[in-house]
Amino acid sequence: MIVTFEPNSPVVGHVWFDPSDSLLHVEISGIDRSIPLNQIPDEDFESSTPIIGFGTGCQGTVVVCRHQDGQETWFPVDMWLPEGFSQV
């Protein structure tokens, strides 16, 4: 995947998963945005092992899913913007 950074790219301040509703939340510019983690296709993840944690990378421009086997899956923050994530 090719990643480019623009000066006006959205930046995540905090990321968390809420197991009560299965939503993966991010805080962007003080606004809580979320997407259903179970709606992200399995093939989009770098590993099929369980996710053990979440964080940010590349100065907050990606959300990082940390897997049990040490692999990481990176998702662009744009997924949490309006029209950024579409369920197929």
What pLDDT, in 10s, does the model give residues 16-65? 999 999 999 999 988 999 999 998 999 999 999 999 999 999 999 999 99
pLDDT surpassing 90 at residue 2: no
- Considering the entire predicted model, what is its pTM? 0.83
pLDDT classification of 70: cutoffs 50, 70, 90: very high
pLDDT at 85 over 80: no
Task: Write down the residue that tokens 């899956």 correspond to.
Answer: 73
Confidence band (pLDDT; 50, 70, 90) for 83?
Answer: confident
Sign of CA dihedral 87, 7, 10, 74: positive
**Pair of tokens at residue 51:** 């996710």
